Amino acid sequence: MILEKVIDRVVIQSEYKDFVDKYIDQILTEFKGKIHSIYMCGSIPKGAARPFESDADFTVLCVNPNDIDYERLSVIKDRLLEEYPVVTKIDTIICSIDDVLSKPSEWGFWVKIICVCMYGQDIGEKVPSIIISPAFILDLNTETKNEVDHRRRLLSNANDHTMKTRLIKGYSKRLIRALYSLVLEDTGVWEDDMFKMKNAILNYCEIDSALVNYLYACYLDSNHVLVEEFLRIADEVYSYFEKALNTMAASKTSFD
254: which residues sit within 8 A by CB, 6+ positions away? none
Give the pLDDT score at 120: 95
CA distance linking residue 38 with residue 225, whole number of Å: 36
Quick one: pLDDT band at residue 253, thresholds 50, 70, 90?
A: low
Encode pLDDT of 148-161 as tens digits. Answer: 999 999 999 999 99
Is the distance from CB of 128 to CB of 104 less than 8 angstroms? yes
Domains assigned to the chain = 14-126 (3.30.460.10), 134-255 (1.20.120)
3-state secondary structure of 62: strand
Encode pLDDT of 215-242 as tens digits. Answer: 999 999 999 999 999 999 999 999 999 9
Give the pLDDT score at 254: 56
Whole-model pTM? 0.85
Is the distance from CB of 38 to CB of 119 less than 8 angstroms? yes
Instruction: Output 255 or 243, whichever has higher pLDDT.
Output: 243
Encode pLDDT of 106-118 as tens digits. Answer: 899 999 999 999 9
Number of neighbours of residue 240 by Cβ within 10 angstroms: 20
Q: Where are the alpha helices (DSSP H) in the chain?
A: 14-30, 43-46, 70-83, 97-102, 107-109, 134-140, 144-157, 161-181, 184-187, 194-204, 209-220, 227-255
